[in-house]
Structure 1
Amino acid sequence: MKKEERQKVILEYLSKEHRVTLLELSEYLNVSEDTVRRDIKELSDQGLLKAVRGGAVAPSPIPHHYRKREKHDIENKKIIAEKAISYLKDGQVVFIDGGTTSVALVASFPYDLKITVITNSFPVAALVEDLPNIDLIFAGGKMCKTSFTTASIDTIDFFRNFRADICILGVCSIHHDRGLTGVIHEDSQIKKTMIQNSNYVIALSSIEKVETAESYFIGPISNIDVLVTNASPEEEILKAYKDSGVIIV
């Protein structure tokens, strides 16, 4: 089998299984593990998968730019928002990041909800403007035009000055072994700081992001209290998260 054919088979296998080991591919393709390792490195360099120790995992299929993400999978974001809204109560201080699913949640806020929102997201801030009982504290810093958020060391330092009751975290990629990861370094560092300074963390993720990984580590799944998806909590792909103590909604 030629290299191009092997690599196509590897990507097809990974799209179905989400994670694959060198040994599995070696046996499946009837080639050496060294050959598979070289193929995985080439595919990883092209951004088509993520090489990990002993194998590979799939990258997130979600577009990177905010303008493309905001139009992606709108109905499932509404489902996630409906599930997550019950965790918000009057009087809470809530961190909200710049994920488009987080924005969908804010768009579903009841008009009379009384909380304090601390965010670095321009779209979140624009939505909160119309809600009379929500106090908004905006994290300054350099704007990231890919995510429409502030994302700099100033932003990180800002979040360190607060302790939130709840952190609403939009997920880029989540994997039971690799943890939470992101595609933008500064954004990933901000998410990490938000988690560290929150009493309770709710991660919002469409099911297609589950068991995927990106380049920048945010934290292990043990950092999450609740994972809200658009799928049934009984889906087999979510079992590893349940087993780790994460509440699946």
Structure 2
Amino acid sequence: MVDHDVFPEQRLTLIQQILSNTGRVIGIDLAKKLNVSEHTIRRDLQELARRGLCKKVYGGAVSHIVESANFDVRASQNMQEKSVVAKRCADFIKANSCIFIDAGSTYLAMAGFIPKDLELTIVTNSPQIAAVLSSRTKSELILLGGKVNPLTGSTLGADTVNQLKGMLFDQTFIGVCGLDPQAGLSAVYYEDACFKKALIGQSNEIIAAVTAGKMPQVARYKVAACEDIDIAVVSKNTNIADFRLVNMRIVVAEE
């Protein structure tokens, strides 16, 4: 049996493996499992965070988000999982409403599931999503202007945020980089986080599409608490155990 108190590198490797498998670790649980002190575990998590292998949160840590460099790359990944979540999200769209669809590969898939005979006003900051919806004849489509960020696949910046100020949305389908029970919804890029915060302030109902790799996860910039999200639509492989005490409706998308 390995004495984890004597072999710190083996202990770090094991913690990293657990993080990779579960997405989140709790300090007190790790201390019991590895038969070391909570202080030792806190020090280990600090070291893993310093190496960029995890992000510390209250009571433990979550695995580090690895974001693809390009929106087109993300759109081609995990297509089946995203399709199932996207279809379930589309079921929540209400007729004769004004909705916002945030940029994201899952919402790009959702655009194809919106019934063509549904009368809507659809606003988006994603040129790709707008292109999919551009042929609809019973919906009003508004594409927010601004500088396109190739990493997020969306228009962002002060001009884009200013356009939001004159709009109120019945429903917003918000993009998720990470979702954690303590840290809430977070974003990888600063401008994207600022935009999402403004968007939430203009919306009556917030719906979040969450694939398995984003929950539980924490990105660099906090956007909102879990309680600010009305519905999280998640894939069946998503770890939702840590969210059981959070005041947020979780809907598991089934094929």
Shorter-chain TM-score above 0.5: yes
CA distance 1:118–1:238, shift in 2 (3 Å):
farther
Unaligned runs of 5+ in 1: none
In the alignment, is the contact (CA less than 8 A) between 1:22 and 1:55 conserved in 2? yes
Structure 1 equivalent of residue 231 of structure 2: 226
Q: Which position in structure 1 is the counterpart of 2:3?
A: none
Contact 1:106–1:124 (Cα < 8 Å) also in 2: yes
* Structure 1 CA distance for aligned equivalents of residues 22 and 179 of structure 2: 15
SS of alignment partner, residue 229 of structure 1: strand
Matches within 5 A, 1:1-249: 1-60=6-65, 63-231=68-236, 237=240, 240-241=243-244, 244-249=247-252
Structure 2 residues not aligned, in runs of 5+: 1-5
Summarize the Cα distance change of 1:47–1:160 in structure 2 as closer, same or farther, 3 Å threshold.
farther
Higher strand proportion (structure 1 or 2): 2
CA distance change for structure 1 residues 238 and 80 in 2, over 3 Å: closer, same or farther? farther
Q: CA deviation at 1:118?
A: 1.2
Task: Report the Cα distance in structure 2 between the residues aligned to 1:222 and 1:229, rounded to whole angstroms.
Answer: 16
Q: CA deviation at 1:112?
A: 2.2
Query: 1:151: how far off?
Result: 1.4
TM-fit CA distance, 1:19: 2.5
Shift of 1:121: 0.8
Q: Indicate conservation of the 8 Å contact 1:222/1:246, yes or no.
A: no
Change (3 A) 1:10 1:142: same
Equivalent position SS for 1:23: helix
* One-letter amino acid of the structure 2 residue matched with residue 237 of structure 1: I
Q: Which stretch of structure 1 is more off in the superposition, 94-103 or 81-90?
A: 81-90
CA distance in 1, matches of 2:15, 2:251: 30
Structure 1 residues 242 and 32: alpha-carbon distance in aligned structure 2, compared to 1, 3 A threshold: closer
The 1:41–1:247 alpha-carbon spacing in structure 2 relative to 1, beyond 3 Å, is closer
Q: In 2 relative to 1, CA 239–2 (structure 1 residues): closer, same or farther, beyond 3 Å?
A: closer
Q: Following the alignment from structure 2 to structure 1, what is the Cα–Cα distance between the partners of residues 245 and 80?
A: 25
The TM-score, its normalising length taken from structure 2, stands at 0.86
**Partners of 2:245 and 2:113 in 1: how far apart?**
27
Deviation at 1:44, TM superposition (A): 1.9
- 1:133 to partner: Cα distance: 2.2
The CA deviation at 1:90 is: 2.8
TM score, norm. by length of structure 1: 0.88
Q: Does the CA contact (< 8 Å) of 2:101 and 2:122 recur in 1?
A: yes
- Residue 15 of structure 1: how far off its partner (Å): 2.7
Q: CA deviation at 1:3?
A: 4.0
- The percent identity for this pair of structures is 32
Where 1:218 maps in the other structure, the secondary structure is strand
